[in-house]
Amino acid sequence: MKILRAKNLGFCYGVRRSLEFTERQYPSPVYTYGELIHNSLIVDKLANNGIFAIDDIENIEEGTVIIRSHGAPKEVLIRAKEKGLNVIDATCPFVNRTRKIVSEKYANGYKIVIFGKKEHPEVIGINSLCDYTALIIDNEDLTDLATYEKVCLVAQTTASAKKFQNIVNKISKDGLKTVEIFDTICYTTQERQKEAEQLSKLCDKVLVIGDAKSSNTLKLKEICGRFSTAYLVSEAKELARINFNVGDTVGIVAGASAPNESITEVIQYMENNYTEAQNEEFLQAVDAVGTNGKLRDGKRMKVKVTAADEKGITVDFGMKIDGHIAAAEAALDDSYNPADYTQGMELDVILLSAKAEDGLYRFSKKKVDKIKEGDKVVDTIRDGEVFELVVERDTKGGLLGKLGTYTVFVPASQIKEKYVHDLKPFIGKTLRLTQLEIDDAKRRIVASQKVILERERKEREEIFWANVIPGVIVNGKVKGISKFGAFVSVDGYDCLVHISDIAWTKFKSIEEILKPGKKYDFVVLKADREKGKVSLGYKQLQKHPFDAAIEEHPVGSEVVGKVTSIMPFGAFVEVATGVEGLVHVSEASNTFVKNINDVYKVGDEVKVKILAIDPEAKKITLSAKACMPELPEEEKAVKAEKKESKPRAPRKKEVVKEEDSEWSEDAGNNPFADLLKDIEVK
């Protein structure tokens, strides 16, 4: 029997992340809103650990509630906070991205259309964000879409990528131009579905590991069932009901909520029951190394123990001269104990040197054990698990290293996301790899670090864009300065702080405020994923100079300021850096002021009193007069007398002709004069 395993097996990022939340310490009791994942084995395990699933938030009064990766309706989150519960939001970032899109588009008057299952908790949560008005579709019938002026189409993250693409194609074909389409299917889901289709075309039977409640698992079974016979199994014991044939090619795929324990059990069951004899025979052929023939360095051999002491183990390998395994070469973990090695015990060893030293041939058991450990690792990486490899040397077109008895080849195109031309710097370095191909007959593995880097970059991108929401505070490092702003790196992504969003007050250079290489907190102002642009603000997190000034100088306080400008109606005085107030001409002195320029000039320092503050308009009314001593009564009387005794200039009157004598008012004050001047008076 031939067994083919999909590369992507085990929990997806969102499920793994939600389970990690359950491992932390929270105020008890601890609950999950709904089953954390659609897998009864995991749910039961959580219950055994005291973490129970609830369907109604009203059923609990205290403690912690963990929101599952599917998310929750908005009213549930609101109610949980109203009840004072400790809410831990483990919603998958991919789901959060969909929720954000729906919230924004619904607020802008769009009809929300969701491709998915109406009863799925993710869809219910998303629908709550548009007040449960969404049109939910699970087929390609788009009749209702044409009736709406503006439509926003999203998809359940675990929906069928192929069906969604058919819908997109149909929208384009039907010319529905008012539909905005967002492909919100998780890229991990898309990869698993594509892989399941390819694998099932090569197999007679496919085992789909997962729970019957899991939407993405059922979708995988549906895809596999189109090309082969597909079986849904949650545990290895369910395999007994399946009739396998000797010549079958059996594929193994797993849903995103399938635990590693179930996957491992199924794989081991298949290998132990259907491939064990073949594997054992093959391993014996590889490991059986005879002692006849010419000795050479590095030859793997079988020897028998004749004696053991603190210095090491004496062995017989069919030659006239004994062999010896030094204590340091006896055990992989350096836990050598002579008592563990009895006379006649057979050991796998490697010959360190073909030349005898002090009448003994030197062997190492430790190196063989390391090789065997490497071979065990090979079995664990068949399903796409990440493994580490120390690069031993370069060769034409890539890098080479050893993993047990296997030679690992990393093509130059698979080292980084961009092609690597100079391979020398990688020699001796440790790479993180995933297998692309394993040839057991040739003991050869082709591996890639590029696949891991691309996957991690995509995960970081999804998380980044799911969390970079206007109003969110982020921490970033200033990478560079330009004439129009500062470039800031946030989680490896370049963002811009425009020069107008750096400070409230004027400054000579950006470096005065933001220094390259240092980290600061910023607030997200705008985020456009399609254009790949994020705008940040720094000044928005700083206190406005006006607010700081009025805190320090409330109404009634006095301050010495500098005159910054003069207007006919008064003078502007700077009471704090970048903050000015107005001294009206009537408040400029304790004596009558006709021309403000007679009292102040720009640059003068003047003591003023805060009379009034308008926070909304950011205006401050000042008085210099209030800070001056009152004039004596005699001086007041003299000034008043001078003011009254000053003769008033006579008003000039125009000479009025006799024929116009009815209009004796001054023409300059008579608005009707010009209107009637051409009318003949009879």
For residue 613 the two structure tokens come to 């503050």
Our CA dihedral for 574, 576, 582, 588, rounded to 10 degrees, sits at: -70
Nearest to 95 by CA among 173, 154, 47: 154
Give the CA count within 13 Å in the CB-facing half-sphere of 53: 14
CA distance 433 to 449: 5
CA distance 42 to 479: 44
Beta strands in 193-265 (DSSP E): 205-209, 229-233, 249-254
CA distance 471 to 103: 15
Would you give the end-to-end CA distance of the chain in angstroms?
127
* Residue 20 contacts residue 263 (beta carbons within 8 Å): no
Active-site annotation holds for 281 = no
DSSP string, 406-435: EEEEEEGGGSSSS-----GGGTT-EEEEEE
For residue 557 the two structure tokens come to 């306080």
* Residue 472 contacts residue 521 (beta carbons within 8 Å): no
Q: Which amino acid is at 202?
A: L
Angle at 80 between CA 78 and CA 81, to 5 degrees: 70
Q: Which amino acid is at 525?
A: L
Active-site residue identified among 122, 195, 462, 580 = 122
Using CB atoms within 10 A of its CB, is residue 295 exposed (0-12), middle (13-18) or buried (19+)? middle
Angstrom distances, CA of residue 326 to CA of 303, 313, 317, 451, 587? 14, 6, 16, 42, 100
- Catalytic site positions: 122
